[in-house]
Amino acid sequence: MNRKQDRLVQLLNREMKLLLGITFGVFLFILFFQPFPLQKFDFDNSLLFIGGFAGIILLFMFLMRIIIPWIILRKDCEGEENSLNAYLEGFVILALSSVAFSFYLRYVGSVHISFYIEFKIILICLGAALALRIYDKNREMVRQNESLVSERKAIRKQIEKCEEENLNKSIEFISESGSENLNLIISEVVFVQSADNYVEIAYMDAGGLKKTLIRNTLKNVELQIRPYSNFVRCHRTCIVNMHYIEKLNQDYGRHTLTIKGYSEKIPVSRQYLLKLRESL
């Protein structure tokens, strides 16, 4: 029993503000635009009569959005399944409220029901049904967006975990002749720069930046470090580790990089500027 009561409270908390808002909207629409002839009523009775329209639309929305889901729904009211198909729900609200409006106008308001009057009744009731449908669609999109954000965060955590694991891996730079080699942790490599027939590898060692020349080509080194996403090419002569980039500078159309712990500026060519900005 408590579970059913809790479900009713949840439905009331979720739906009542919406239903009252739509009801008030219908009341104001009929009050200001006066789609039906109400000359036989004085102002006070006119307000009371228009309030009857609002009460009718509220009654059927309350029945379809709260009472029936409370009776039929087997899952929690925040679940994905609805007790009734959304389109069927809207049609039932439209049909019942239109019929009720017609009887109310004919037998309470003594208004002759013409085709034009009936057309306006259907439009008003359709507006209420559409407002409910738009609200449901918006709520569904919000839930989907929250789900996508959660998935994105989870994927981002996995990527960061993989990147962290990659940073702790070691990499061996070997000269073309095989006579020289330099074994470093990925996170220690600051940048790699071509120097004629050699590549200059800058790396952190004991808190300071050191450089070593190895006879090789920048192209071969790029192929070797390509699996590691923290490296990005900024110039035809240089590849940098993004974790050591302090600032992207622009001076009279010329771009350079400031590297942590390194006094000289690293050149950036227009060819690689866009990709570098996206990576940063």
Give the pLDDT of residue 168.
78
Token pair 């309350």 is found at: 62
Give the pLDDT of residue 78.
45
- 118/243 Cα distance (integer angstroms): 70
Are the C-beta atoms of residues 132 and 84 closer than 8 Å to each other? no
- 64/203 Cα distance (integer angstroms): 69
In Å, how far are 9, 16, 38, 113, 245 from 3, measured between CA atoms? 10, 20, 47, 46, 57
Pairing of strands 245-251, 254-259: antiparallel
Give the pLDDT of residue 95.
95
Residue 75 falls in which region: left (phi positive, over 0), alpha (psi -120 to 50) or beta: beta
Alpha helices per DSSP H over 104-186: 115-167
Coil/strand/helix, residue 132 = helix
Q: Can you give the residue ranges of every domain in the chain?
A: 2-161, 171-279
Predicted confidence band of residue 186 (pLDDT cuts 50, 70, 90): confident
280 vs 152: which has the higher pLDDT: 152
- pLDDT (average), residues 80-100: 81
Predicted confidence band of residue 1 (pLDDT cuts 50, 70, 90): low
- Single-letter residue type at 77: C
CATH topology for 171-279 is OB fold (Dihydrolipoamide Acetyltransferase, E2P) (2.40.50)
* Pick from 46-50, 69-73, 99-103, 115-119: least confident: 69-73
Task: Quick: pLDDT tens for 216-228.
Answer: 888 888 888 888 8
Q: Is the pLDDT of residue 83 over 60?
A: no
Task: Find the helix packing angle between 43-62 and 86-103, rounded to 10°.
Answer: 150
